[in-house]
Amino acid sequence: MTDLTDLEREHMRQAVDRALQARKESGKAGIAAAILLDGQEIGRGENEVRLQSDPTKHAEMVALTEAAQKLGTTDLSSCVMISTLQPCEMCLSAMRFAGIKRVIFGATQAKVDGKYFVFPRLTLEDFQSSGEAFDAIGGVFEEELLPLYEDGDE
């Protein structure tokens, strides 16, 4: 596992601020994500599941879609995912299909309400051991984020 770059830490801080703000707004879950390419944000998302009545509109999925559309390709292998919550199984699968090899996240699965993970025995390590290298750095700004996710009541 490698350390965060200054730009990654800065973008993670921005995601945390967006998640905290989203939680204050009515109807929004406090989950935010971003896709970085060479340190620049090319995709951004907040959780829109309830707002769009679409179970696939997780913050990471919204950010992936925006980044792929901006680049005109589904190959995001040069990109980094930033998320305020450890990505769920669906989001991790989508990231792997897009070729993303690095994810940086805040709150970890072990410390949040179980509702965020449908298959709790399918772990981050399973996604790391399924082929190509996959760097995952978790717990970034975790203490600040845990109150958003500890009870699953958003």
Instruction: Kindly report, residue by residue over 59-108, the tens digit of the pLDDT.
Output: 999 999 999 999 999 999 999 999 999 999 999 999 999 999 999 999 99
What pTM value is reported for the model?
Answer: 0.92
Residue 85: strand, helix, or coil: strand
- Of 8, 41, 46, 60, the active-site residue reads 60
Structure confidence by residue, pLDDT tens digits, 32-69? 999 999 999 999 999 998 888 999 999 999 999 999 99
Cα separation, 80 vs 100, whole angstroms = 6
Q: Exposed, middle or buried, 31 (CB in 10 Å: 0-12/13-18/19+)? A: buried
Domain 6-148 has CATH 3.40.140.10: yes
Distances in whole angstroms, Cα of residue 75 to Cα of each of 63, 88, 124, 130, 150: 14, 20, 21, 18, 34
**Catalytic residue check, 48:** no
